[in-house]
Chain A
Amino acid sequence: MKKKKLFTQKTVPYLFCAPFLLSFFIFLLYPMLNMICTSVFNLQGVSTYVFVGADHYRRLLTDPHIVSAVLNSIGFTVGIVVVNVVFAMLLAILLNNRLTPLRNVFRSALYIPALTSIVVAGIFFRLFFAGNADTPLNLLAGLFGQSAREWLYDTKLTGILALVFTSTWRWLGMNLLYFLSGLQTISPELYDAAYVDGANAWQKFRYVTLPGLRPILVFVITILTYGGLRMFGESYVLWRNSNTPGDIGLTIVLYIYRTAFGQFDMGYASAMSVVLFAFLMVLNAVFIKVFGIGKGGTGR
């Protein structure tokens, strides 16, 4: 007699997927619906909710902080994508080249910042961007005839640059690994063929490396775009959660956080989250359509 098994080839996949589905319903779908509901109510007193309809959404359109936050977040995202793609790709190509000495040492050294928390990084970078005349940054500015400045409180642009620099310090190592992993998928024969055809270094990069890296490039750009738009920690630690003149360094998520957990205006904060959420879903659809992300993972 053969023992009847509970999990057969037909049923076991559902068991394997159960954790994901449960988590999806409890920690994603339900909160999402809940958030949409909260966004049309206003909390009054301790636990009385008053229906306010689209009021919060109307308020969004006239809130000047939103404009600053959106501009900061977009500026930051563009900066982080450009800087991280260019440097991570360059470093990955160098570290993949057999002629480069000490490849493993450099690989680890460049990854190490990824091991720190934003709080620890913030301690250093707050001082790095400080206003005293003898910081390396201000000494450098002095060489160009600029006077020393408080980089974190100077202009919106210096604020964004400080954010991009701080984030890149922590994120570059990870993106470097992604590109290194992408480079492994390019067949060495292609380079041999290019060599036979007499291609120079630039042509090899343009016609072999770049097309080969396309999937990973799309992946990294996607991750960085979302990472940029959702950024919170860098902004929180660099300006110590205080209001800045002209909303320097205020990002979308930081503004939502302050509205929700600083002023306890949950209804308005929810409305902002709903809009951000909807925007990211649209962006998601565009990315999938344009770049065809995930096609590689669904094959077989």
Chain B
Amino acid sequence: MKTRHTAYRILVVCLLVLFAAVSLIPFLYLLVTSFVDDMSLVFRHGIALRVTPDLLSIENYRMLATDSDGLFFRWFGNSVVITVSFTILSIALSSMTGYGVGMYRFRGRRAIIVLILSTMMIPIETLMIPLYNEMRAFNLLNSVAGVILPFAVSAFTIYFFLQYTQSLSQDFMDAARLDGCGEFGIFVRIMIPLMKPAYASMLILQATTEWNDFLWPLIVMSKSESFTLTVGLQTYLSPYGNNYNLMFAGAVVSVVPVMILFFLCQKLFMEGMIAGGIKG
């Protein structure tokens, strides 16, 4: 038995190390290459480039900071503003609906659940044209509101919270009502604290999704000073010439904030996703 366990362990670790390597090597490559000043070498050798210490410098990052009067910082700022406001709005509104549908019995509840489930599967991609026209009519093109409003209430997030409320007890609500607590008060003061792991999971998921979102900001933001990071980075590659120096350095900088967020909330996130999460 003992030897079988050891054999299993060795085999599994080899397999997992392989997958972890595939997951992490691209980051390592981007990080190292972002310090290579001479991009013609990168062009010639691609990912087979053998980096030696004498190739390294921080020149790319200096270029990134000074390019077009710090345009990169504008993009970074736009991404921060959009991600923070979207995440807060989305989690607040979606958890409200998920909680309301999950914890109350009322007329029309079934109909709303059916609506939530069927909209969960409607890809925004099919609606990008009418939504673009709508945003233009509202004069919201090139604005933060234009990027965040259409998708702030997410059926997926609602569904996640709806599932999570199944672990909450109605008894808490009855007890609070006896104590004279209002219905909204029950939500804010009792249920939100109980749903903390769900909030942590959705915080990370929504924040990273929004930070990395590409198609919708690409459509809404057409002025270079209102780009988000993903849209801006992509413009370093253009038919008029590629700027790999800026692209590599910018890519590394753009990954750092989500990494920090992830490592800060990692434990709560994993717990919320794995223990509370989607049950199908």
Residues of A within 8 A of B (CB): 5, 7-10, 12-17, 19-24, 26-28, 30-32, 34-35, 38, 87, 91, 94-95, 97, 99-102, 104, 106-121, 123-125, 127-128, 130, 132, 134-136, 169, 172-173, 177-178, 180-182, 184-185, 214-219, 222, 226, 229-230, 232-233, 236-237, 240, 242, 253, 256-257, 260-261, 266, 269-270, 273, 276-277, 280-281, 283-284, 287-288, 293-294, 296-300
Contacts and interface: CB of A to CB of B under 8 A. Distances in A.
A34 B122 CA distance: 16
A230 B125 contact: yes
Interface string B210-239: 011111000100000000011001100101
Contacts, number: 296
B277 A177 contact: yes
Interface in B252-280: 254-255, 258-259, 262, 266, 270, 273-280
Given A109-B23, A182-B280, A233-B215, A120 B270 contact: no
Contact of A21 (B112, B125, B212, B237): B112
Contact of A294 (B5, B26, B113, B150): B113
B188 to A, nearest CB: 12
Given A94-B16, A177-B274, A273-B126, A226 B280 contact: no
B61 to A, nearest CB: 16
Interface string B25-66: 011011000000000001011111000000000000000000
Interface of B: 5, 8-9, 12-13, 15-16, 19-20, 22-24, 26-27, 29-30, 42, 44-48, 93-94, 96-97, 99-101, 104, 106, 109-110, 112-113, 115-119, 121-123, 125-134, 149-153, 155, 158-159, 162-163, 166, 177, 182-184, 187, 208, 211-215, 219, 229-230, 233-234, 237, 239, 247-248, 251, 254-255, 258-259, 262, 266, 270, 273-280
Contacts of B259: 112, 115
Given A119-B233, A132-B48, A216-B280, A270 B129 contact: yes
Given A100-B12, A119-B214, A128-B47, A293 B23 contact: no
Given A112-B24, A117-B214, A298 B110 contact: yes
A91 B106 contact: no
14 contacts: A16-B100, A16-B101, A19-B93, A20-B155, A31-B134, A35-B127, A91-B19, A110-B20, A112-B23, A117-B230, A173-B23, A218-B280, A236-B214, A300-B166
A136 B25 CA distance: 12
B234 to A, nearest CB: 5
A9 B234 CA distance: 50
Nearest to B42: A127
Nearest to B177: A9
